Structure 1
Amino acid sequence: MTIRVTFHPENQQSPVIQTPIPPKPEVSAHSTEGIGIRIRKNNFSSTEKDKDKIAEILAELQSYIGLETVKRFILDLQAFVEIQKRRVQEKLVSEPLVLHMIFRGNPGTGKTTVARLVGRLYKEMGVLQKGHVIECERADLVGEYIGHTAQKTREQIKKALGGVLFIDEAYSLARGGEKDFGKEAIDALVKAMEDNKDNLVLILAGYRQEMDWFLQTNPGLRSRFPIHIDFPDYTLDELLAIGNLMFKTRQYELTKEANEALRSYLQFLLHSHPYAGNARLVRNLVEKTVRKQAVRLFQKSTSSREELIQILPEDINMETI
């Protein structure tokens, strides 16, 4: 059963969540039966300290700029897990938690950040033992000769046990065709999902179209990842807010004129760069601006505290990123 989250152009609108009625269980090679995290009473002995930590993690989630629909979906997911815990306490039938996910979106839209938060949240909720996140890509999984790939993939899986294995640009595992060793990595991952169903969450991430293609190359994968989340590009106002927050964290302040210059430049980038709507580009712009301010101030023999903090319009780096 795939939970599909679709984002509207306006951040304020609620996501469209399509949850098909699950078919009657049947035995097949693609069945997800038995690969979920089964809720047990000893898994969920929540204390007040645990609840405080969960509240802290959720507060951090809410502090993120943008990602409104992602935030709401994570809260829905938390509610589902908590209700399953209550059903166990009342000796009612509970659903196995199949929490493997597909994150789709452009670079810098928060996929890795949310994956780290999800790991911590699952740990505090008793779903995972450790909640750490092991981040890897094709080079960390695929070897150079027969047998090497399975070994490398198992090593990454072993590191991730008790937490989350996050694979960025996961579609690259299927790009080499039938004879490529990437297929061996996929097979090893599928086996690990079954062998470690109580102690591992797998998150595959990448561009939207490429991830759709990747799932089509292996129909068995789609059935094993019931949660699909799309990460939208940031709006102009969100990018500006991210930029201001990055400057503030570094103890810099933009003048009113510099803030307008930053807005104008971001607007230009949104129209000229194919993947401009992300935080990674803003971070690069902030770092270049700080360096340009340093070069400007270096021309003077001394600088006041205010000068060291202040970002002027001429500091906004107008070079193409």
Structure 2
Amino acid sequence: MKQTNKEGRIHVVLNPKEKPAQAVDWPDHPEHGLLRSIEQEMESLIGLTGLKVLVRELYASAYINKKRMEAGLETKGQMLHMLFTGNPGTGKTTAARLIASMFKKLGLLEKGQFIEAERADLVGEYIGHTAQKTRDLVKKALGGVLFIDEAYSLARGGEKDFGKEAIDTLVKQMEDHQNGFILILAGYPREMAHFLSMNPGLQSRFPLIHHFPDYTTEELLQIADVIAGEKKYEIDTVGRPLLRSIIEQEKRISGLRFANGRNIRTLIEKAARRQALRLMAQSVHSKKELKMLKGEDFQLSP
């Protein structure tokens, strides 16, 4: 059984007896039960291969650091601030929530709360207001994860914009509260590169950078099936190749701005509206007709 979250990321409900492929070679030890449960949860996500590797590395690092401390070896806390790059609908928020949950269970975060913010939550209306708003937000996130999506928007106004003040304050807070919270920034790759250039001390504070690639056409077709199924629709054999063509066309037209799962949800909803118009011409509707999205319900842009 498959489900999608609000980002359009596919979830597959696994048979509980099935083991995630990546967990097979780990020692069968009770201490690794947390990793196994996390990996099983991640195996329910289509794609994200690189993220699965990163999560395993983070778990292993925390586990071995704990063993080093037990052995009397000096272990300094790692900076775990992260930078996520990728187009919309590629799973960045999903990943941030998963990592926050894992770190809490590992004891790396005192509270483990997940605070999601955007430009308006940090940038004020007058000089000094932005710094205070940003400090208050960090205070709220202490002991947990602060996730800022579209973080590049803080740099869009240049040197004179209050967003620059928010960036500088974030850098200062990261210094003042070392290992006190985890900051995860996310956004488009090109814009995030410009964002990092706004403060010379910013990039060095993000040792973990991960890129979320776009879905392939095949993965997007899987998403279409899942979204249609959630709405009690089916796509017929004529509609499927047409939908594939539409997806490929939208990817070419949108380029770097393609919204992945969000685009697919829009396509299915448009097809459902066209189906409704088509069926209005009939006085009797069978259950099969009410469920079926046909080729004529999908339409290529001119």
TM range (shorter): 0.7 to 0.9
Q: Take 2:274 and 2:30, find their aligned partners in 1: how far apart are those partners?
A: 46
CA RMSD of aligned residues (A): 2.5
Match of 2:260 among 278, 291, 295: 278
Alignment-derived partner of residue 241 in structure 1:
222
The code of the aligned residue for 1:263 comes to R
Q: Take 1:155 and 1:319, find their aligned partners in 2: how far apart are those partners?
A: 47
Evaluate the alpha carbon distance shift between residue 128 and residue 145 of structure 1 in structure 2; reply closer, same or farther with a 3 A threshold. Answer: same
Paired residues of 1:102 and 1:225 also in contact (CA < 8 A): yes
Alignment-derived partner of residue 204 in structure 2:
223
Evaluate the alpha carbon distance shift between residue 143 and residue 119 of structure 1 in structure 2; reply closer, same or farther with a 3 A threshold. Answer: same
The code of the aligned residue for 1:286 comes to I
Give the 3-state SS of the residue equivalent to 1:152 in structure 2: helix
The code of the aligned residue for 1:62 comes to E
Match of 1:254 among 235, 253, 270: 235
Paired-residue identity, %: 51
Instruction: Provide, for residues 53-72 of structure 1, a one-character-per-residue CA deviation record: whole Å limited to 9, x for no partner.
Output: 65333222222122222222
Q: Take 1:181 and 1:52, find their aligned partners in 2: how far apart are those partners?
A: 46
> TM-score, normalised to structure 1's length?
0.76
Paired residues of 2:123 and 2:129 also in contact (CA < 8 A): yes
Q: By how many angstroms is 1:120 displaced?
A: 1.4
Alignment-derived partner of residue 85 in structure 2:
104
The code of the aligned residue for 1:178 comes to E
Q: Take 2:31 and 2:238, find their aligned partners in 1: how far apart are those partners?
A: 46
The code of the aligned residue for 1:69 comes to G
Q: By how many angstroms is 1:249 displaced?
A: 2.9
Q: By how many angstroms is 1:49 displaced?
A: 10
Give the 3-state SS of the residue equivalent to 2:201 in structure 1: helix
Alignment-derived partner of residue 6 in structure 2:
none
Give the 3-state SS of the residue equivalent to 1:194 in structure 2: helix
Match of 1:316 among 292, 298, 302: 298
Q: By how many angstroms is 1:98 displaced?
A: 0.9
Paired residues of 1:174 and 1:182 also in contact (CA < 8 A): yes
Q: By how many angstroms is 1:138 displaced?
A: 1.5
Alignment-derived partner of residue 296 in structure 1:
278
Alignment-derived partner of residue 173 in structure 1:
154
Give the 3-state SS of the residue equivalent to 1:94 in structure 2: coil
Q: Take 1:129 and 1:290, find their aligned partners in 2: how far apart are those partners?
A: 47
Of the structure 1 ranges 301-310 and 59-68, higher mean CA displacement relative to structure 2 is found in 301-310
- Tell me, which stretches of 5 or more residues in structure 2 are unaligned? 1-28
Alignment-derived partner of residue 155 in structure 1:
136
The code of the aligned residue for 1:145 comes to Y
Of the structure 1 ranges 143-152 and 295-304, higher mean CA displacement relative to structure 2 is found in 295-304
Q: By how many angstroms is 1:317 displaced?
A: 4.6
> TM-score, normalised to structure 2's length?
0.81
Give the 3-state SS of the residue equivalent to 2:125 in structure 1: coil
- Tell me, which stretches of 5 or more residues in structure 1 are unaligned? 1-47
User: Structure 1 residue 204 and structure 2 residue 185: aligned?
Assistant: yes
Q: By how many angstroms is 1:51 displaced?
A: 6.1
Paired residues of 1:169 and 1:205 also in contact (CA < 8 A): yes
Instruction: Provide, for residues 142-171 of structure 1, a one-character-per-residue CA deviation record: whole Å limited to 9, x for no partner.
Output: 111012112222332233233211112222
